[in-house]
Structure 1
Amino acid sequence: MGSDSVRGVGRRRLLGWGGWGGLAVVGGAQSAGARTAHAAAAATGPRAIPRDTRPGGAYDRYLAKLAAEDRFSGVVLLSHRGRTVLSRSYGMADKEKGIRNHEGTAFNLSSAGKPFGAVAVLQLAQRGRLRLSDTVGTHLTGFPESIADKVTIHHLLSGISGLDTPEEDLQRVFRSREEVREFYEKWARQAKPVGPPGTPTDHAGAEVAIPALIVEAVTGMTYWDYVEEHIFKRCGMTGTAFFTRPQWLTDPHIAHSYMRQADGSRVDAVRNLDKGSPDPLQLGKNPARSYIDFPGDGGFATAPDLVRFAHALGDGTVLDRPYAELLTAAKIPLAPQGGGGLRAHRTTPADAAFTTYMMPVSLIDGQWLNGRAGVNPGSLASWNIYPDSGWVGVVLGNHDDAPFQEIIEQEMNAVLGKT
């Protein structure tokens, strides 16, 4: 699964992922273990909390400047060993109703939610309901032999299935969960091999949809219901869900996504289904046209909930420790430079970078960094876990034009003490 050095880090993580074991959930009461851990962290000196991560520090000042220039609207959060160090909210969640963004606002995750699917599969694996070596045909019918008999769950989760899928229908306006479910099942079955299993295909299309179908086949639940019940609920992610378009339109705690148009204006995606993005990378897309997010996206989440998810991965809440380590274990090396997909937000120079199950992992200045980012028209999302030092960083936004990669680089620099 990885080199000896990677397995060595794995053994340390099994003992608590950088000291996270026993820490209180963000926003909840602190246990005696949490208070002891916090005291120990404070005793290690100023480097335990780099000055640029604190209120008034370089990262905070940078974000405030972006917001003042109307270049960022959203929420950022930095948490160290279960304690919030920095939490900031900027801009409006719903301009029409005058609702401001706040820490409890839920934002569209796009691809930042892909690891939820990998966690769902690993939960079933640890319960003996499936094996990662199972082929697609073990659980699903209707696929050609080149997929059914050769492509394994491991290939799919690792992004090396060698499969390609036709483009999504970006113009279609869906009207129900059932309509979305029927579409992504048919869409997944249109996958075709572009190379043998082992060929990198970057967690696109079928590599997300097929594992979701396997979760449904094994459990008898829809993918959305399974993830909400066995991941969000178990982690205490009370503000996170696969909200439907009617909920997005009416629930005051869900941020509307504001897309930049060719004439320079910004429009509310959920109130303007006839409008799409002019960005060549997402041309014509409007995320609100989907009644509920496809499995390739992650629904909506609040910043504190993503911190809860990060800690649940580290303390055995959502996966047994060996399976949590399997989720983030380095698998396939990534090129130093990359464009979209997994590498889209990994522009900071790294000692090494790898795929894992549905997300990248990097070594930066001798520290592991796990996380996932996603971009939809009018929204952006990132959560980063620094398991060796106990940090979690979250960035959630609901405007186009934010310098997303730069924001994440500034977060990394602040946490790693590089500014």
Structure 2
Amino acid sequence: MNFSKIEEILKKHNETLPFSGTVLVRDKTKIFEQRFGYANRSEQIQNTMNTRFGMASGCKIFTAVAICQLVQDGILSFDSHLRDCIHIPFPNFDPNITIHHLLTHTSGIPDYFDEEVMNDYEELWKVLPMYSIQSPQDFLPLFQNGPMKFSSGDHFSYSNAGYILLGLVVENMTGMDFTTYVEKNIFQQCGMLDSGYFRMDQLPERTAIGYIDYDQAWRTNMYSVPVKGGPDGGAFTTVYDLVRFWEALMNNQLLSSEYTPILLTPHVKEDEHTYYGYGVWISIYDNAVFKYYVMGSDPGVIMQSSVYAKEKIHAHIIGNIGKGAGMIARKIDEILL
């Protein structure tokens, strides 16, 4: 990996669109690290390589791993019907929705934040205050009685609500709060000691505050996202913990050698080169996997975390502003392609 090219990419990016966050790129023998901006602008506390950042939807992969662990343990199957896994009324839902449909965004259920027709996440909290969202159950009023968008299994349509339901499945099947399950069975297993589902009003040390920039001014994202994250997004992590997670996943420490490939299988196609596994995006070129990655974006949160399949290179970009990670990741892709 040519790290001087990575440094040049970041220098050019920051000349026109300053990034705030951390970047880690690692190949088999070397590691590149760089940090930018402030974790706390008011106090001028700089981001460091150990700063924790929000992940937004990047943590859907944790939900998928949790479900795969339950399948591996024989508690449910990918073909289990939603109606048999949680006993909550969904009057307009297709009774044939399966766990597989939910994992692959092919269930057809209504989404509480439908990214195909909505772009302002903050608008949600005019209906349901963000401080009331503290568990998966709390999201239900936003989509529980809505109509189906399409027949289950018909096609891919990204669904945050689908992953909320998967979190409810984890809770019902284990008797544990979803976040407690993930922290115990994934974060602790990986040694991700800096990661967690922290409350926005109880952020621990070394956690970056998310910032929303507008009209030559800024504000924090404290009132723009749920007070506590859950199955569809909202965990906090560091670039080092992302390395630990991917290493544990790829080395079958979280799932067996039978179930890890199932999670990483390109189950559904989104476009020419983009597929979705279980909680993970997959880029394919020339009939071969180019990279596995997760990405997330919320007000004041941006991230993309990638592992390149052939080279085993890691590239983790996480920030506390609303843009930049995807652009930097695409430039790294171009180098490796």
Q: Cα offset for 1:65?
A: 3.6
The answer to which of 94-103 and 124-133 deviates more is 94-103
1:238 aligns with one of 193, 200, 206 = 193
Q: Cα offset for 1:201?
A: 4.5
Structure-to-structure mapping, 1:7-18, within 5 angstroms: none
1:326 aligns with one of 246, 253, 262 = 262
- The residue type equivalent to 1:213 in the other structure is L
Any conservation in 1 of the 2:210–2:321 contact (CA below 8 Å)? yes
Aligned counterparts of 1:148 and 1:230: Cα–Cα separation in 2? 31
- 1:107 and 2:107 are equivalent in the alignment: no
1:132 aligns with one of 74, 78, 90 = 78
For the residue of structure 1 that corresponds to 2:10, the secondary structure is helix
For the residue of structure 1 that corresponds to 2:24, the secondary structure is strand
Aligned counterparts of 1:96 and 1:255: Cα–Cα separation in 2? 12
- 1:264 and 2:186 are equivalent in the alignment: no
Q: 1:254 to 1:308 in 2, by over 3 A?
A: same
For the residue of structure 2 that corresponds to 1:198, the secondary structure is coil
TM-score by length of 1: 0.73
Structure-to-structure mapping, 1:47-62, within 5 angstroms: 50-51=1-2, 54=3, 57-62=4-9
Q: Cα offset for 1:91?
A: 1.0
Structure-to-structure mapping, 1:9-408, within 5 angstroms: 50-51=1-2, 54=3, 57-67=4-14, 69=16, 71-81=18-28, 84-144=30-90, 147=93, 149-167=95-113, 169-171=124-126, 172-175=128-131, 179-187=134-142, 189-248=144-203, 251-261=204-214, 263-270=215-222, 273=223, 286-287=224-225, 290-336=226-272, 352-364=273-285, 366-400=288-322, 402-408=323-329
Q: Name whichever structure is richer in helix by fraction.
A: 1
Aligned counterparts of 1:139 and 1:102: Cα–Cα separation in 2? 42
Any conservation in 2 of the 1:136–1:147 contact (CA below 8 Å)? no
Overall identity of the aligned pairs, in %: 24
Q: Cα offset for 1:121?
A: 0.1
TM-score by length of 2: 0.89
Q: Which runs of 5+ in 2 are unaligned?
A: 114-120
- The residue type equivalent to 1:355 in the other structure is Y
Aligned counterparts of 1:191 and 1:233: Cα–Cα separation in 2? 37
Q: Cα offset for 1:157?
A: 0.4
- The residue type equivalent to 2:45 in the other structure is I
Q: Which runs of 5+ in 1 are unaligned?
A: 1-49, 274-285, 337-351
Alignment coverage as a number of residue pairs:
326
Residue number in structure 1 paired with 2:116: none
Any conservation in 1 of the 2:136–2:164 contact (CA below 8 Å)? no
For the residue of structure 1 that corresponds to 2:59, the secondary structure is helix
Deviation per residue, 1:2-39 (Å, 9 max, x gap): xxxxxxxxxxxxxxxxxxxxxxxxxxxxxxxxxxxxxx
Aligned counterparts of 2:136 and 2:98: Cα–Cα separation in 1? 22
Q: 1:311 to 1:191 in 2, by over 3 A?
A: farther
- The residue type equivalent to 1:67 in the other structure is N
Deviation per residue, 1:28-63 (Å, 9 max, x gap): xxxxxxxxxxxxxxxxxxxxxx22xx2xx1111221
For the residue of structure 2 that corresponds to 1:170, the secondary structure is helix
- The residue type equivalent to 1:138 in the other structure is D
The answer to which of 107-116 and 291-300 deviates more is 291-300
- The residue type equivalent to 2:279 in the other structure is M
For the residue of structure 2 that corresponds to 1:125, the secondary structure is helix
Deviation per residue, 1:323-349 (Å, 9 max, x gap): 11000101122223xxxxxxxxxxxxx
For the residue of structure 1 that corresponds to 2:43, the secondary structure is coil
For the residue of structure 2 that corresponds to 1:210, the secondary structure is helix
- The residue type equivalent to 1:226 in the other structure is Y
- The residue type equivalent to 2:294 in the other structure is R
Q: Cα offset for 1:203?
A: 3.2
Aligned counterparts of 1:181 and 1:330: Cα–Cα separation in 2? 27
Aligned counterparts of 1:157 and 1:141: Cα–Cα separation in 2? 19
Any conservation in 2 of the 1:73–1:397 contact (CA below 8 Å)? yes
